[in-house]
Amino acid sequence: MSKETRVITIFVSFLMLATFSAAIFAQGKSGVFPTGGADNPMLQGGGPAIGATATPTPIPLLVAPYDFNHDLKPDFVLLNASTRQMAVWYMNNKVRIGGAYTPTLPAGWNVIDVRDFNGDGNNDYALFNSSTRQTAIWYLSGVTRIGSAYGPTLPSGWALVATADFNNDGKPDYILYNAGTRQTAVWYMNNNIFAGSVLAPPLPAGWSIAGIADFNRDGKADYLLFNASTRQSAIWYLSGVTRIGAVYGPTIASGYQLMGAADFNGDGKPDYVLFNPSTRGTALWYLNNNIFIGSAYGPPLPAGWILLLP
């Protein structure tokens, strides 16, 4: 292909993607281009060449997991499954102290996790389209969307299941899962730009990743695993992507799903977040590492709504 042809091809691709972006993210700013899927995530080369962050001025604020109103306390993220409206409930431990709507999700897209991708001190939404395997980031200021960008497209067979910083560079990374092989993988990210990949431990049959948190407080992210059949929970202690230990956590009460983990009672230790899809009840299980030390009911969700995160 001649240089001119290549330039034109790239430009036409740019226009097509820009049009697609504008359609999907009608109120947002598109910016970054998919690298296309490969069969093996390890072969996914380099980041997209052209990038743009919606909020280029980093503000060094402390960002707590799943905290949207900057009180350093984790909040609930809710989804109305029929209208695709999203909302955040501001939480003080088990008590709801307020709430706000966040943008409605486009069809086909789901919010997978919440982290500060552009380092502006506000948590952002990481989105995944399971049909196209495209990823995207919605940059939030509080609960207001102030921009958006595509991240890389995942290879066939892989799904985005969580986000967390696995190489301790202060930047959230993607955690991928292949349901066919049960392999997990980490894609290191620089904001929405792919920066490298590594395989992580495969999961045993029947188990899935419910969340990521530092349970043994060694400064490194761990896998929180849940077996929906037995309702058993487990923690895999990781150093980077190397598993250095594993313990069972408590067995989850009948009817409840283990949604994720965050520190709700402010003792610095991640707690379990439980949701009962039938009653729409929520509950917090307070943990010391993997040991259950107490529990509390949270607020029930209104009809039609489900708890997404933590």
Shortest separation between residue 302's beta carbon and Ca ion, angstroms: 20
d(CA 21, CA 151) in angstroms, rounded, equals: 12
User: Which one, 90 or 256, has the nearer CB to Ca ion?
Assistant: 90
Shortest separation between residue 286's beta carbon and Ca ion, angstroms: 5
d(CA 118, CA 11) in angstroms, rounded, equals: 26
Sign (positive or negative) of CA dihedral 144, 145, 151, 154? positive
Shortest separation between residue 108's beta carbon and Ca ion, angstroms: 23
CB 252 within 8 A of CB 79: no
Shortest separation between residue 167's beta carbon and Ca ion, angstroms: 5
Q: How far apart are the first and last CA of the chain?
A: 48
Choice from 169, 228, 242, 297 touching Ca ion (CB under 5 A): 169
Q: What is the DSSP string of 83-119?
A: T--EEEEEEETTEEEEEEEEPPPPTTEEEEEEE-SS-
On the 0-12 / 13-18 / 19+ scale of CB atoms within 10 A, 2 is exposed
Residues 67-96 touching Ca ion, rule: CB under 5 A, are 67, 69, 71, 73, 75
Choice from 167, 183, 216, 232 touching Ca ion (CB under 5 A): 167
Residues 124-153 touching Ca ion, rule: CB under 5 A, are 124
Stretch that binds Ca ion, among 10-18, 40-48, 59-67, 208-216 (CB under 5 A): 59-67
Binding site residues, Ca ion, CB under 5 A = 67, 69, 71, 73, 75, 116, 118, 120, 122, 124, 165, 167, 169, 171, 173, 263, 265, 267, 269, 271
